[in-house]
Amino acid sequence: MAPLKDTEETLVREEAHRLLTEYMLEHHQRKTPERYAILDAVYSFDGLFDVDQLFQRLEDRFRVSRASIYTTLDLLAQIGLVVRNQMPSKVYYERNIPGQVHFYKACTECGKLERFTNDSLGRLIKEMPVKRFHPSMYSLTISGLCSKCLTNINRRKKRLDKKKKAKPKAVTDKGTAAKEKGKGTPKEKKKTN
Ligand SMILES: [Zn+2]
């Protein structure tokens, strides 16, 4: 998805403010400036962020505790203003713009979450009829291995294979040699291939 223009950014933020206000009025909650400050900080990220990054961004402008950040993020996720992604080592967040489809690649090895875009698939997902359900957020996560982890794993495998090959014990012909051991253990025999 292409970055939003300034005017679009303003509209997106205004709409987010409106939805937050609506929710708090409906649920008889106090409209604290703190919540709007957190919402603005959340919407200032064009991409994934974690609580630490959000805390740092808020720190210079607004005094706010980590506890309020967590509760507000939960609230924003409930309203559908933020997408929450729980990974093994941390939680990632991303602002949710109405009609946007979020695509993520989640590495099961290092726990890294990366977003990507696919406009044609995004359109398909949005046009997909969902029976007896009103969608408010679209998010698709593909789990697997990132290229870095895949390279590392392959390297480790190769090293292991080399070690196995280096051991003469591994070059027995389908178990028969193991049975025939009596005189010399395969370890003592020098392999010839
Ligand atoms: Zn990885």
Summarize pLDDT for 73-93 with one digit per residue, the tens. 999 999 999 999 999 989 999
Rounded to 10°, the helix 33-43/51-59 angle is 120
Higher pLDDT, 177 or 44: 44
> d(Cα 93, Cα 82) in Å, to the nearest integer?
7
Quote the ligand 1 centre to 51 CA distance (angstroms): 21
The answer to whether residue 182 scores a pLDDT higher than 70 is no
Quote the ligand 1 centre to 142 CA distance (angstroms): 13
Confidence at residue 183, expressed as pLDDT on a 0 to 100 scale: 47
Question: 54: exposed, middle or buried (C-beta count within 10 Å: 0-12, 13-18, 19+)?
Answer: buried
How far, rounded to the nearest angstrom, does the alpha carbon of residue 116 sit from its chain's CA centroid? 11
Quote the ligand 1 centre to 156 CA distance (angstroms): 14
pTM for this entry: 0.77
Confidence at residue 177, expressed as pLDDT on a 0 to 100 scale: 47
The answer to whether residue 104 scores a pLDDT higher than 60 is yes
Confidence at residue 60, expressed as pLDDT on a 0 to 100 scale: 79
State whether residue 173 is helix, strand or coil: coil
Q: How is residue 47 annotated by DSSP?
A: S
Confidence at residue 174, expressed as pLDDT on a 0 to 100 scale: 55
Q: Which fold has domain 99-166?
A: Dna Ligase; domain 1 (3.30.1490)
The answer to whether residue 63 scores a pLDDT higher than 70 is yes
> d(Cα 159, Cα 49) in Å, to the nearest integer?
36
In the chain, where the domains are located: 1-98, 99-166
Q: Report the chain's mean pLDDT, rounded to a whole number.
A: 87
pLDDT band at residue 168 using 50, 70 and 90 as cut-offs: low
The answer to whether residue 110 scores a pLDDT higher than 80 is yes
Q: How far is CA 70 from CA 13, 43, 55, in A?
A: 20, 15, 10
Please check whether the two domains, 1-98 and 99-166, share a CATH topology. Answer: no
Quote the ligand 1 centre to 49 CA distance (angstroms): 17
Q: How far is CA 105 from CA 53, 108, 117, 164, in A?
A: 20, 10, 10, 34
CATH class of residue range 1-98 = mainly alpha
pLDDT in tens, 44-62: 999 999 999 999 999 878 8
